[in-house]
Amino acid sequence: MLFVAGGRAVSLGEAVLWGGAAAALFLLVSLLAIWRASRARRHAEAEAAGRAAELEGQLGALLAAQSAMTGRMQAMAEMLGGRQADLSQTVSERLDGMSHRLNQSVGEATRNTHASLNGLFERLAVLDAAQQNIADLAGQVTTLSNILGNKQSRGLFGQGRMEAIVADHLPPGAFEFQFTLKCGSRPDCVVRLPNGAPPLVIDAKFPLEGYNAVKAAESPEALKGAQTQFRNDLIKHVKDIKERYLVPGETHDTAFMFVPSESVFAEIHERFDEVVQRAYRARVVIVSPSLLLLSIQVIQAVLRDARLREQAHVIQAEVIKLIDDVDRLDERVRKLASHFGMAQKDVEAILLSAGKVTRRGRGIEAIGLSDAEPERQLLAGE
């Protein structure tokens, strides 16, 4: 007994038999494993061959696709090359055109800039001149303020404005400044009216002290006092004009009181209506520069109409002479027409005789044709 297995004693011979069987079984199992491994290897090799064939087909297709892709890429490269050349040429042309336009634009902008700068320099020069004029005017305003601050200077200022309006619109001889009346008064201006009417008196010495006080008043009491003083000055001035310059038979029954400022004139008519009414009743008309200009223009038209009426008889006499000349001209034209009629009749007789002479000459010229033909032509000529 070699060993006990499962409660059974195993001898050496049984062990040898069992060892051979095990060896045979092991061999059989080994052969089976080898066959299976060989079969699996052959199957794997077949699958590998199929896969290799498939991969080879795919590789061929890939190479064909790569070749086609290479051809397409070459064609595309050629096309892109041509397009790039065209694009480069187009870009170059556009760049040239843009460069030309840019140069033109820059040149035009430069010219415009120079023109603008020149205009700016000119305007600056004008502004400098205007500034200088403003400075001069400031000095003149200061001088004017000093002038108007003095009563005598204000009178001269009003006198100057009145004289300028009258002298610019009336002919010489139709007015006179500082005219002396028979009573000794000397109005600032007299305007001679047509048809023997007395001259119109214009006074330019307007009192501005009260008006300046009204404008300078800072309290209601001061304003009321200044207005009262200004009203009294106006009434006194109207009274002086009436007493000094309205002389019956020597001056017109109406006189002008000249106010050298439109604002002062408006202030009088707005706030001192009783003074205006009193002046009207005294036959003293308050006039501003614009109203005086309008009145002078009316007087100018009246003077022109009077001069035309004075020359009307001269014009009428000239027209009568012109009619006589026209009558004589008509008579002479008629005589000339009769002479032309007689001359026309004489010319027609002369033409008739010339025609007869011409026909006879042609008859004489044709005498050599036959014996009877000349006589017939002569008779036809008669």
The band of 73, judged by pLDDT with boundaries at 50, 70 and 90, is: confident
Instruction: Indicate the SS3 state at residue 255.
Output: strand
pLDDT greater than 60 at residue 141: no
Domains of the chain, residue spans: 150-310, 318-381
Burial of 10 (0-12, 13-18, 19+ CB in 10 A): middle
The band of 40, judged by pLDDT with boundaries at 50, 70 and 90, is: confident
Q: Render pLDDT for 55-64 as a digit per residue (tens, 0 to 9).
A: 888 878 888 8
Q: Name the CATH architecture for the domain at 150-310.
A: 3-Layer(aba) Sandwich (3.40)
Buried b (16+ CB within 10 A) or exposed e, 148-187: beeeeebbebbbebbbebbeebbeeebbebebebeeebeb
User: Please, what is the Cα angle at 320 between 317 and 321, to 5 degrees?
Assistant: 90
Q: Render pLDDT for 205-255 as a digit per residue (tens, 0 to 9).
A: 877 777 788 888 788 888 888 888 888 888 898 888 888 888 888 888 889
Write down the pLDDT at residue 55: 81
Alpha helices, DSSP H, located in the chain? 12-148, 151-169, 209-216, 220-245, 262-271, 273-281, 289-310, 312-365, 372-381
Whole-angstrom CA distances from 140 to 135, 196, 253 are 9, 44, 40
pTM here is 0.44
Q: Which helix (H) or strand (E) holds 258?
A: strand 255-258
Write down the pLDDT at residue 302: 82
Neighbours of 199 (CB within 10 A): 19
The β-bridge partners of 177 are 189
